[in-house]
Amino acid sequence: MSVAIEFKNVSKKFDKANYNAVDDISFTVNEGELVTILGSSGSGKTTLLRLTNRLIDPDKGEIILFGENIKTVDVIKVRRRIGYVIQQIGLFPHMNIKENISVVCKLMKWEESRIDARVDELLNLVGLDPKEYKYRFPKQLSGGQQQRIGLARALAIDPKIMLLDEPFGAIDSITRLKLQDELLSIHGGLKKTFLFVTHDIEEAFKMGNRVMIMNEGKIIQFDTPENIIKNPKDEFVKTLMNSAKEKTKLWEKYI
């Protein structure tokens, strides 16, 4: 199994901040894994993703994707090899769904017939009927549908790595559960490496082959859900587990 993503002692401090947003982080992710990154707001999750696709560069350390130090690769090339989905989705409001999904295909001068086929394929993959949705505009879709388009757009040119930053954060819980299952089956079918950021503990443990728990820019524990639950590494992780258990107790009380 080859290593898809490797961080070696990576730190990033933003201008004017007096702490590292990402603080001396090292880890490896194997090809095909779905890793969830769990942490409270401000713990450095988004920063970690944006370092991976060179939206920002680290102050210290090395980031290696499939054996290649990304510092030596042109930023545009790095980003095109990686799919990126953000919580706010960021669809282009002036383009229809087909145009949104195929922006990068167009930049890469794909033929129209190939673009058309790819858009249909992706819409089917994310569970939206191409005939119905291809020529709609983003504002004519629900939040859940928009996020499906965000996912389709990120998958357009078949990147080997997908970065998902709280993609379901603003979506109602029923749709969210559905999208989680769909994403799992998409991941299973595609053999891509996923880094999936969330601050929802159930989501992190349900989705991840391994879960990376972050706090204040550091990785506290990075292991399979089972191992973390059996052996929480420190007080912070224990507190996190307990908060999840509290929630289930609420339900058990009335059943």
Partner 1 sequence: MIIYFLKYYDKLLIALLEHLEIVLITIIISLILAMILTVFVQLSKIISTILTGFFSMIYSIPSLALFSLLIPITGLGKDTAIIVLVLYNQYILLRNFIAGLDNVDENIIEAAKGMGMSNMQMLIKVKIPLAKKSLFTGIRLAVVSTIGIATIGALINAGGLGTILFDGLRTMNVNKILWGSILSAGLALFADKILQKIENKSF
Ligand X SMILES: Nc1ncnc2c1ncn2[C@@H]1O[C@H](COP(=O)(O)OP(=O)(O)O)[C@@H](O)[C@H]1O
Binding to ligand X, residues 225-244 (CB under 6 A)? none
* Residue 104 interacting with partner 1 (CB under 8 A): yes
Least distance to partner 1, CB of residue 14, Å: 15
Least distance to Mg ion, CB of residue 46, Å: 3
* Residue 42 interacting with ligand X (CB under 6 A): yes
154 binds, among Mg ion, partner 1, ligand X, none (CB under 5 to 8 A by kind): partner 1
CA angle 46, 49, 55 (to 5 degrees): 95
Structural tokens at position 68: 């290649």
Q: Which is nearer to partner 1, 154 or 212 (CB)?
A: 154
Mark the segment that binds partner 1 (CB under 8 A) among 27-35, 75-83, 182-190, 231-239.
75-83
Q: Which is nearer to ligand X, 9 or 124 (CB)?
A: 9
Distance CA 28, CA 1 (A): 12
> Which runs of E-coded beta strand occur in the chain?
3-12, 22-30, 34-38, 60-65, 68-69, 82-85, 161-165, 193-198, 210-215, 218-223
Q: Which of 20, 36, 43, 46 binds Mg ion (CB under 5 A)?
A: 46
Least distance to partner 1, CB of residue 5, Å: 16
User: Which is nearest to 79 in space by CA: 58, 47, 53?
Assistant: 53
Burial 197-234 (b: 16+ CB within 10 A, else e): bbbbbebbbbbbebbbbbbebebbbbbebeebeeebee
Least distance to partner 1, CB of residue 22, Å: 18
Residues 6+ apart with CB under 8 A from 215: 39, 40, 43, 236
Q: Which is nearer to Mg ion, 55 or 103 (CB)?
A: 55
* Residue 39 interacting with ligand X (CB under 6 A): yes
Mark the segment that binds ligand X (CB under 6 A) among 45-53, 125-133, 138-146, 147-155.
45-53
